[in-house]
Amino acid sequence: MKKILFPILILFIGLFSSCEEVIDLELDNATPRLVIEASIVWIKGSSGNAQKIKLSTTTGYYDTEVPIVTGATISITNSENTVFNFTEIPDTGEYVCIDFEPEIGETYTLNIIHNGETYTGTEIFQSLAP
């Protein structure tokens, strides 16, 4: 019994007396870049007309708040050149469109204009396997 007790005692002493040192790294801060959170959220059998896009910027590793982006112009265009404009919800970084009608197999182009920069992305809306 003494042979088992001694190694266990040493283990517990080692665990509870080990040192811990906090290390704060000096990380370089890069120029903030635009972050776009956008996806078509649609459940079969629903209209899918309320869509939301969120804009923010990158931030430092130790920062606790994510900077929101306001004042952007956002639209989605389908292959028939129908334009769906998004309206900004003040002070949230969120933009909504309430008349968007997604169609499976349709090609959509997202256009975002912010601070004189234009961001564009094109995707085909496809159904997920059931």
Residue-wise pLDDT for 43-62, tens only, equals 666 666 788 999 999 998 88
Q: Which residue has the higher pLDDT, 24 or 124?
A: 124
pLDDT at position 18:
63
Specify the pLDDT at position 30: 84
Domains and CATH numbers, the chain: 25-124 (2.60.40)
pLDDT of residue 45: 66
pLDDT bucket at 126, cuts 50 / 70 / 90 = confident
The predicted model gives 19-41 an average pLDDT of 83
User: What is the DSSP code string of the chain?
Assistant: -HHHHHHHHHHHHHHHH---------PPPPPP-EEEEE-----TTS----EEEEEEE---TT--SPPB--S-EEEEEETT--EEEEEEETTTTEEEESS----TT-EEEEEEEETTEEEEEEEE--PPP-
